[in-house]
């Protein structure tokens, strides 16, 4: 029965993402539905709050969760919807590459704790810029035996030295690709670099190779699209180089709305059909993002692996794995003080006005409980 439901869900998903008119309607509707859902969620929270006492026992790093190990915060693109080009221009981001030993320490601790998923993606930056990324993937997959090793890339460097082949051969579990769409001109405007051909070629080769090897890896292409989904779905690039490889493990999706990177991105930064995410007023309830831990290239451990405003060395940093273990840091007072601070209306700089804010709820609590 479960198998049938799964198949049906996949068929619906595939139908939506390969039919232009349907995809346009679904993504247009999703923008409004998500906003209503968040409004309702916020209203609900004003009445059914999870207290600090209830969440304290489940606040630490959970082995069934994801450990983010951002191997480098250097990027080879300058996307208009991302804080990266701004923080580089303003010189507020200190960039670097994670030494292998730092990565190994994080992975070894995570493996010893029974950690199942590791993601090499930084808050900003592309993991493939790290010249040692393949050694790190190899170590995490084949030495530390982490169940799923994942990364997100803009695909620009997938072709370099046959990286797409090596990732698959090493046993990477999941590759998320973040790209613009299938128009070269729009890509260059939104991604800020003339790398369309490289990115498309890398995606094509990765899909072909993964398919030829029997789909060992899950591949998700996330279009950060300026055009309507239908324009991408009808393009020659999509029809010839992406659609033939779509399956239950190889999927595409489009972007419903773009968040503001804590206020760094404004409506004037985006273009075309891109929409900024609207957010109902913020609540004195912690965000789910605070319960994810990300290791920066210098070993700093930061809450929330997904957003920054000026720098990733900000007031979300709660320790460093070169001094303490991940378990000590995740159970420490610094992390708890940030989480608890939300109840008193005190937020770290990046969280103030962040439109990715997602308050914890009972479903979240259940997912964090022992045995879930």
Does position 17 interact with ligand SF4 (CB under 6 A)? The reply is no
Shortest separation between residue 365's beta carbon and ligand SF4, angstroms: 17
55, 71, 77, 106: which one binds ligand SF4 (CB under 6 A): 77
Helix or strand run (H / E) with residue 99: none
**Of 310-329, which residues contact ligand SF4 (CB under 6 A)?**
none
Q: What are phi and psi of 320, to 5 degrees?
A: -145, 130
Q: How far apart are CA 233 and CA 18, in angstroms?
A: 6
80 near 112, Cβ under 8 Å? no
CA dihedral (147, 148, 149, 150) in degrees, to 10, reads: -170
Does position 78 interact with ligand SF4 (CB under 6 A)? The reply is yes
**Of 125-164, which residues contact ligand SF4 (CB under 6 A)?**
125-126, 154
**Of 247-306, which residues contact ligand SF4 (CB under 6 A)?**
287, 289-290, 304, 306
* Strand order, beta sheet including 300-303: 250-254, 218-223, 174-179, 148-153, 117-119, 66-69, 293-295, 300-303, 317-320
Shortest separation between residue 176's beta carbon and ligand SF4, angstroms: 11
Q: 111 or 274: whose CB is closer to ligand SF4?
A: 274
Q: 105 or 195: whose CB is closer to ligand SF4?
A: 195
Strand partners, 153: 177
Q: Which residue has the tokens 């810029």?
A: 129
68, 79, 250, 279: which one binds ligand SF4 (CB under 6 A): 79
Shortest separation between residue 38's beta carbon and ligand SF4, angstroms: 13
Stretch that binds ligand SF4, among 16-24, 103-111, 124-132, 210-218 (CB under 6 A): 124-132
* Residue 358, token pair as written in the block: 């997602």
Q: 157 or 170: whose CB is closer to ligand SF4?
A: 157
Any idea what DSSP says for residue 65? Answer: S
359 near 41, Cβ under 8 Å? yes
Does position 354 interact with ligand SF4 (CB under 6 A)? The reply is yes
Q: 146 or 316: whose CB is closer to ligand SF4?
A: 316
* Residue 28, token pair as written in the block: 């247009």
Stretch that binds ligand SF4, among 28-36, 79-87, 204-212, 248-256 (CB under 6 A): 79-87
Does position 87 interact with ligand SF4 (CB under 6 A)? The reply is no
CA-only gyration radius of the chain, Å: 20
Does position 307 interact with ligand SF4 (CB under 6 A)? The reply is yes
Helix or strand run (H / E) with residue 109: helix 100-112
Shortest separation between residue 335's beta carbon and ligand SF4, angstroms: 12
**Of 55-74, which residues contact ligand SF4 (CB under 6 A)?**
none
Strand partners, 258: 276
Shortest separation between residue 202's beta carbon and ligand SF4, angstroms: 13
Q: Which residue has the tokens 């600090």?
A: 52
258 near 276, Cβ under 8 Å? yes
110, 209, 245, 357: which one binds ligand SF4 (CB under 6 A): 357
Q: What are phi and psi of 147, to 5 degrees?
A: -60, -50
Which residues of this protein are in contact with ligand SF4, per CB under 6 A?
A: 75, 77-79, 82, 84, 124-126, 154, 178, 287, 289-290, 304, 306-307, 350-351, 354, 356-357
């Amino acid at each position: 029965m479960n198998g049938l439901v799964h198949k049906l869900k996949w068929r619906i998903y595939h139908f939506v993402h390969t039919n232009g008119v349907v995809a346009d309607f679904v993504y247009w509707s999703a923008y409004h539905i998500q906003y209503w859902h968040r409004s309702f969620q916020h209203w609900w929270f004003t009445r059914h709050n999870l207290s600090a006492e209830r969440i304290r026992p489940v606040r630490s790093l959970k082995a069934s969760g994801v450990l983010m190990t951002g191997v480098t915060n250097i990027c080879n693109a300058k996307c208009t919807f991302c804080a990266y080009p701004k923080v580089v221009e303003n010189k507020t981001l200190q960039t670097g590459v994670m030494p292998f030993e730092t990565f190994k320490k994080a992975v070894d601790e995570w493996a010893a704790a029974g950690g199942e998923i590791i993601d090499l993606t930084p808050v900003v930056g592309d993991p493939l810029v790290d010249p040692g990324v393949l050694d790190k993937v190899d170590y995490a997959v084949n030495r530390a035996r982490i169940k799923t090793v994942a990364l997100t890339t803009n695909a620009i460097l997938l072709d370099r030295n046959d990286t797409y082949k090596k990732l698959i051969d090493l046993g990477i579990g999941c590759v998320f690709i973040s790209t613009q769409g299938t128009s070269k001109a729009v890509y260059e405007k939104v991604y800020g670099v003339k790398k369309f051909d490289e990115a498309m070629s890398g995606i094509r080769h990765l899909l072909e190779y993964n398919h030829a090897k029997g789909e060992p890896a899950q591949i998700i292409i996330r279009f950060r699209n300026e055009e309507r989904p239908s324009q991408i779905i009808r393009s020659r690039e999509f029809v010839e180089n992406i659609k033939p490889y779509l399956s239950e493990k190889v999927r595409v999706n489009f972007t419903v709305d773009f968040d503001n990177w804590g206020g760094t991105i404004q409506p004037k930064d985006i273009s075309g059909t891109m929409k900024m995410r609207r957010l109902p007023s913020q609540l004195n309830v912690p965000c789910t993002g605070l319960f994810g831990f990300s290791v920066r290239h210098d070993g700093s451990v930061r809450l929330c692996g997904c957003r920054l405003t000026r720098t990733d060395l900000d007031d979300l940093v709660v320790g460093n794995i070169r001094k303490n273990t991940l378990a000590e840091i995740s159970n420490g007072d610094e992390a708890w003080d940030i989480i608890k601070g939300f109840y008193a209306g005190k937020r770290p700089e990046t969280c103030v006005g962040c439109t990715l804010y997602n308050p914890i709820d009972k479903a979240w609590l259940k997912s964090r409980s022992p045995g879930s």
